[in-house]
Amino acid sequence: MTTLLSQLQPSAQDVLEAAHRLKGMAHRTPVLRSSTADAMLGAQLFFKCENLQRTGAFKFRGAFNALAQLDDAQRERGVLTFSAGNHAQAVALAARLLDMPALILMPENAPASKMAATRQYGAQVATYDPVTEDREAICLRLARERGMTLVPPSEHPHVIAGQGTAALELLEEVPRLDYLFVSVGGGGQLAGSLLAAKAVAPLCRLYGVEPEAGNDGQQSLKAGHIVRIPFPRSTIADGAQAQALGPLTFDIIQREAEGIVTASDVQLMQAMRFFAERMKIVVEPTGALAFAGAQHAGLDIRGARVGIIISGGNVDLSRYARFLAD
């Protein structure tokens, strides 16, 4: 078995190097404004639209950065991962671009659109029951059996560094941000964003945003150690249905983040409707976390310059219609 799991902490320099590696491969996504959003929050908001990234989410950044650093032998044997959808699609596309096989383990209740897209990008898909089966244990067994490299969704320095390049682009394009809000599932995007801010905007205050029903990161910061929760089935934010942060992401978040706040499913649906009606963009529930957190967490951001990373736009159209109608 070959894995990419490492105990090496990523650094701000790793994010800068990842940005160079991703140049010409990842889209430099637009930063949108909304005078209506500014008026609602009494602040200047800058929306980094990773819903317009390749594969429809920021995850392509971390996946490509990790896979691009594999050696020839690892590429020949291929990669595997576990994911509810966005990282699955990202690894599938990155593997295709780098000409290597990919096996993706997805929960059997993953959104149909994400599962279909993963297959269309050329990856083999296997499923598991997220309630009764351990996805990491299954992947480790498959890695041993097939000699493949395991590329986890968040808990690896190359993945974390790649995820941080979205925030890096935003902070370079919009200087002097006072706050930056980032969605939190496995914590890779928040950890990478914190490293990016350390490199180019050390005065910017970063907050992670989790769904209320899956606030393991918030609980971990309060407890001072990693807290593991039951699988959060009740949230619509399927991309943030994590049970616990990993040691790499937790260490960075605990050291550098201002905090983690939460948003309810109702607030996520309101944010999705706002994006659709006023900004004319499709945003998935997890992708709406950062805006919902900035709007409803009770933080005093009036008069501030605020960055919002819209992390993804992959949502089944039937579910999306229901969310907008509710």
- Give per-residue pLDDT as tens, 176-188: 999 999 999 999 9
pLDDT for 134: 87
Give the mean model confidence (pLDDT) for residues 229-235: 84
In this structure, what token pair is assigned to residue 73? 């032998």
- pLDDT tens digit sequence for 13-49: 999 999 999 999 999 999 999 999 999 999 999 999 9
Report the alpha-carbon distance of residue 170 to residue 308 in Å, rounded: 9
Is the pLDDT reported for residue 9 higher than 50? Answer: yes
How much is the pLDDT for 222?
98
Query: For residue 2, is pLDDT > 70?
Result: no
| Rg of the Cα atoms in the chain | 18
Predicted pLDDT at 3: 42
CA–CA separation, 125 and 84 (whole Å): 11
Assess contact for 45 and 306: CB atoms under 8 A: yes
Question: What is the spatial distance between Cα 217 and Cα 221, in angstroms, rounded to a whole number?
Answer: 6
Walk me through the domains of the chain, giving residue ranges and CATH numbers: 11-58+156-325 (3.40.50.1100), 60-150 (3.40.50.1100)
| Cβ count within 10 A of residue 310 | 30
Catalytic residues: 59, 311
Contact 264, 163 (CB under 8 A): no
- Among 325, 326, 265, 268, CA closest to 295: 268
**What is the per-residue pLDDT for 4?**
41
- Comparing CA positions, the residue from 121, 24, 104, 21 lying closest to residue 70 is 21
Kindly report, residue by residue over 284-317, the tens digit of the pLDDT: 999 999 999 999 999 999 999 999 999 999 998 9
Among all chains, which residue has been given the structure tokens 């951001």? Answer: 301
Neighbours of 321 (CB within 10 A): 11
What is the mean predicted confidence (pLDDT) over 74-98? 95
Percent of the chain whose predicted confidence (pLDDT) is above 70: 98
**Residue 111: predicted pLDDT:** 77
| pLDDT, tens digit, 9 for 90 and up, residues 126-161 | 999 988 888 889 999 999 999 999 999 999 999 999
Q: What count of other Cβ atoms lies within 10 Å of the Cβ of residue 73?
A: 10
Mark out the alpha helices in the chain (DSSP H runs): 12-22, 35-41, 59-67, 72-77, 86-97, 112-120, 135-146, 157-173, 188-200, 216-223, 247-256, 265-274, 289-296, 317-325
Residue type, 42: G
Looking only at the bridges linking them, the beta strands covering 124-128 and 102-107 are parallel
**Other beta carbons less than 10 A from residue 211's beta carbon:** 30
pLDDT (average), residues 113-126: 92
What is the model's pLDDT at position 60?
A: 98
281: which 2 tokens?
């963009």
> Does the pLDDT at position 6 exceed 60?
no
Give me the chain's average pLDDT, please: 94
Alpha-carbon distance of 135 to 69, in angstroms, equals 24
Local confidence band at 78 (pLDDT 50, 70, 90 cut-offs):
very high
Q: Which pTM value belongs to this model?
A: 0.94
Query: Mean per-residue pLDDT for 82-92?
Result: 92
> For residue 112, what are the CA distances in angstroms to 115, 123, 318?
5, 15, 10
Q: What is the pLDDT of residue 242?
A: 87
Angle of the 317-325 helix axis to the 265-274 helix axis, nearest 10: 100
pLDDT of residue 1 exceeding 70, the answer is no
